[in-house]
Amino acid sequence: MRSPRAAAGFSLIELVIVIVLIGVLATVSVALIRQPIDASADVQRRARLADAADQAMARISRDLRLALPNSIRTSADGRAIEMLIAPMAGRYRARPRAVPLPTGDRGDVLDFAVADTSFDLLSSLPSAPVAGQWAVVYNLTASGTQANAWAGDNRATIAAGSTVDRIALNPGFQFPFPSPSQRVYVVQQAVQYRCANDGRLLRHAGHAPALAMAVPPASAESLLAQDVSLCNFRFQAGDASRQGLAALSLAITREGESVSLLKSVHLPNLP
């Protein structure tokens, strides 16, 4: 026969002690499990921020490297940077052929003394220029009214019928200065990157070049990044002995986490 104590089972105190111990173990277990989960979530969040900032920097850097030499300019507050995109360039014919072709053709020379309507290229372009793009010769600066493609004194409108070996202009255009290296750039469009006050990094493309930099320009915008907490663009023009230098600073902050990137882009400045 079992004793009265054995038949009574667990006491209330024993049950309370067991419940308390189980609660303590559960609390410790949750804390131990949650810590690596939270750490993993933090790492993933930082990775997303870094990826967003890196993609934005890569896009800006790519356009900077495609920019017409000496066409890069920044706003006074450093929150916008603008450039003329020139995806290809060639060398124009400056002198007639010493030996004409069997047809008697000595080549179409770019004449700087008149408003010329066409000229030959010494080497073929990767693709034929499109009507409405611009031909730019000897761009020296992004300010002032001389040798400045933004002002337009060295920027001619390319006409239909241009080929990889010949550029037609409409209307005819008289370039003010020849290039020592006989170089002509095909400019596709104007592009501006700007940081809006609401934390968005925007890219504008397709607006008309103008002497004064307008922020924002009159062109369509596309979103490049959000939650931008720091944005600064600086450009130091080069000279005969050194390249130009663009310094880009960008920080993105989200859910208490912040990632900052600083990138320098060296740019050729020979026109």
User: Could you tell me how many residues make up the chain?
Assistant: 271
Q: How many whole angstroms separate alpha carbon 174 and alpha carbon 116?
A: 6
Res 36: pLDDT: 66
DSSP per position, 89-127: EEEB--S--SS--TT--------SSS-EEEEEBSS--SS
CA-derived radius of gyration, the chain: 32
What pLDDT does 194 receive?
98
Count CB neighbours of 258 within 10 A: 15
CA pair distance 245, 77, nearest whole angstrom? 18
How do the pLDDT tens digits run along the chain, 271 residues long? 455 555 556 677 877 787 887 877 777 766 666 666 666 666 677 778 888 889 999 999 999 999 999 999 999 999 999 999 999 999 999 999 988 888 888 899 999 999 999 999 999 999 999 999 999 999 999 999 999 999 999 999 999 999 999 999 999 999 999 999 999 999 999 999 999 999 999 999 999 999 999 999 999 999 999 999 999 999 999 887 889 999 999 999 988 888 899 999 999 888 8
Nearest to 63 by CA among 49, 30, 71: 71
Which candidate, 81, 49, 63, 78, places its Cα nearest to that of 261? 49
Say how far apart CA 199 and CA 207 lie, in whole Å. Answer: 23
What pLDDT, on the 0 to 100 scale, is given for residue 31? 67
pLDDT value for 32: 67
What lies within 8 Å, CB to CB, of 28 at 6+ separation is none
- How far, CA to CA in Å, does 116 sit from each of 53, 92, 111, 176? 46, 13, 6, 12
H or E stretch including 43?
helix 12-65
Looking at residue 242, its pLDDT comes to 86
